[in-house]
């Protein structure tokens, strides 16, 4: 069995969202599974001294234009949220909590959360809003609310972010194929060739 | 006549170098000419508060790995220069000086300078080394040396960088197709679709 493709993303990352809409089909094309890892770019940026893309002069304006154009290019529905960026502990904790029991379900719920934010502008950093989204996916609202505040889940997310950093993750999306690192939606063409040829 | 594609690059930018090896063929596929503009990323980074890619923790190491992999992906010869990054006033001034008389020749000489640096590790920030490279392209060495120190050429480069910044250029390579901005070698797939469809 080939190893799964590790897929790292932040729930507030537009390129991470578009990549999330693509990664499972890309992996499946080569008989691969995926392993989704929510990370917190805020914590990652602290390590690298980086700032959110949209906060950079000149580059920030271009980025907003490029988010929308890249979504059209990849045929993914996208609307720039009014509140951006957002803290993503809440959706990340819900995802990690679900993942422990059922990774495939965690991916479905994560996808619903990403679409809620990047298509419908719902502020998923807010627990009530995030819970309304996941409840529609059949997740028990009270159990999910408890998970958001559960010290064990908080700790699991902290460890996930630390492990990502230790592995060299510095942005979203970030993919590993058999240990080879790829940063960015715009490396998916290289990811595809790597999967097809086993490296190049 | 369709307008030429504006191509901005810094002589010390690995992705700019790979893009320089690709842009003319891409443009020609759609019956377009190109207009090459050397810029100084140092001056650009001052405006945006950015730093050279390789100076960023974690991301820097990945970038060096990605330069080489992206060159292989695009089938372009590449060897990471020992001295990196370098100041690029010297090659940029030579190019602007040549461009005034013969843009096509300026592109050929610029390509020779880029290959000297990114394939053979020649430090083209050094006037003697840069002049040796351009002399092999039939450029008069004494005239080129005079151009490097010519206040009018220095001023022309300054104006070129200011015009680039005013247009929103914040990195290398940077391309405009009929006013539409594309940053990065990894947007060449979008540049191609834009050229094919007149936008998307």
pLDDT digits (tens, 9 = 90+) for B137-192: 999 999 999 999 999 999 999 999 999 999 999 999 999 999 999 999 999 999 99
Q: Between residues B142 and A45, which one has the greater pLDDT?
A: B142
* pLDDT at residue A175 in the model: 98
Proportion of chain B above pLDDT 70, given as a percent: 100
Candidates A8, A60, A69, A177, partner chain B, best to mutate (most B CBs within 10 A):
A69
Say whether pLDDT at A44 is over 90. no
The answer to whether B52 and B83 have CB atoms below 8 angstroms apart is: no
Residues listed for chain A: 200
pLDDT in tens, B76-109: 999 999 999 999 999 999 999 999 999 999 999 9
Determine the Cα–Cα distance for residues B85 and B172; give it in Å rounded to an integer. 13
Nearest to B17 by CA among B104, B99, B120: B120
Of A47, A58, A190, the CB nearest to B58: A47
pLDDT classification of B53: cutoffs 50, 70, 90: confident
Q: With beta carbons under 8 A apart, name residues in chain A contacting B74.
A: none
Measure B100 CA to nearest chain A CA, in Å.
Answer: 29
- In angstroms, the separation between the Cα of residue B186 and the nearest Cα of chain A is 6
Partner residue opposite A56 with nearest CB, options B48, B72, B190: B48
Task: Compute the mean pLDDT over every residue in chain B, rounded to the nearest whole number.
Answer: 96
- Please state, in angstroms and rounded to a whole number, the distance separating the CA atoms of residues A199 and A194: 4
Query: For residue B140, what pLDDT is reported?
Result: 98
Q: Which residue has the higher pLDDT, B49 or B114?
A: B114
Residues of B in Cβ contact (< 8 Å) with A170: 56, 58-59, 62
Q: Give the separation between CA B196 and CA B200, rounded to whole angstroms.
A: 10
pLDDT (0 to 100) of residue B44: 83
pLDDT in tens, A100-113: 999 999 999 999 99
- A189 and B59 in contact by Cβ < 8 A? no
The DSSP-derived string for B148-174 is: HH-HHHHHHHHHHHHHHHHHT--SSSE
Compute the nearest-CA separation of A127 from chain B (Å): 32
Contacts of A190 in chain B (CB under 8 A): 69-70, 73
Cα–Cα distance for residue pair B59/A183, rounded to 1 Å? 9
CB contact under 8 A, A47 and B65: no
Q: Are the C-beta atoms of A35 and A62 separated by less than 8 Å? A: no
The whole-angstrom distance between B11's CA and the closest CA on chain A is 20
Condensed to tens digits (0 to 9), the pLDDT of residues A68-86 reads: 999 999 999 999 999 999 9
Average pLDDT over chain A reads 96
Which pLDDT value is given to residue B150? 98
CB under 8 Å to A117, separation ≥6 — which residues? A11, A12, A17, A81, A86, A123, A124
């Amino acid at each position: 069995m080939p190893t799964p493709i590790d897929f790292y993303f932040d729930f507030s990352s537009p390129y991470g969202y578009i990549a999330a809409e693509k990664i499972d089909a890309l992996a499946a094309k080569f008989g691969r599974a995926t392993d989704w890892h929510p990370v917190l770019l805020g914590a990652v940026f602290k390590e690298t001294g980086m700032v959110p893309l949209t906060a950079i002069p000149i580059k920030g304006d271009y980025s907003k234009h490029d988010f929308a154009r890249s979504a059209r290019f990849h045929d993914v529905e996208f609307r720039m949220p009014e509140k951006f960026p957002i803290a993503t502990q809440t959706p990340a904790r819900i995802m990690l909590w679900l993942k422990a029991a059922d990774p495939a379900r965690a991916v479905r719920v994560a996808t619903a959360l990403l679409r809620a934010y990047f298509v419908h502008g719902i502020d998923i950093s807010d627990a009530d809003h995030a819970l309304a989204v996941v409840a529609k996916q059949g997740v028990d609202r009270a159990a999910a609310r408890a998970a958001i505040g559960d010290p064990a889940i908080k700790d699991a997310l902290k460890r996930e972010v630390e492990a990502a950093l230790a592995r060299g993750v510095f942005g979203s999306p970030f993919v590993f194929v058999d240990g080879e690192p790829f940063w960015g939606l715009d490396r998916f063409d290289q990811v595809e060739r790597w999967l097809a040829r086993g490296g190049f």
